[in-house]
Structure 1
Amino acid sequence: MNGLVIIFALVALLAVFSTLSALKNKNVLGILFGFGTLGIFGWFTIMTVIHNGYPGA
């Protein structure tokens, strides 16, 4: 279950880059989905770290 936080964090980082790209291109639907993905997966990342802790190496 600890590897799940890594996947959530990677998806959240990709959402940041996609949102910035959509803002640059003035793509309204891309901005909407980018912020939505960032909000959901960012929240899942934070809650997984709080509940299960950060995975060890």
Structure 2
Amino acid sequence: MGLVIIFSLITLLALFGTVSALKNKNILGIVFGLATLGVFGWFTFMTVLHSGYPGV
């Protein structure tokens, strides 16, 4: 259950960072933000799908 919470927080922070990089037109920030958002977003989705939230 703790893993889902940590992954979700990282995903939300990556989303915030990507939006901030888009506003500032920071290409490297956009690339790394989208990569982080994709990886941790996928981990979050699959962990919730496999383990359930909260741990069932």
Q: When the two structures are superposed, what TM-score results if normalisation uses the length of structure 2?
A: 0.94
Structure 1: 5+ residue runs without aligned partners? Answer: none
Structure 2: 5+ residue runs without aligned partners? Answer: none
Q: Structure 1: which 4+ aligned runs deviate by more than 6 Å?
A: none
Contact 1:3/1:55, CA 8 A, preserved across alignment = no
Q: When the two structures are superposed, what TM-score results if normalisation uses the length of structure 1?
A: 0.92
Q: How many percent identity over aligned positions?
A: 73
Give, in whole Å, the separation in 2 of the partners of 1:38 and 1:50: 18
Measured on the aligned residues, the alpha-carbon RMSD in Å equals 0.9
Give, in whole Å, the separation in 2 of the partners of 1:4 and 1:48: 8
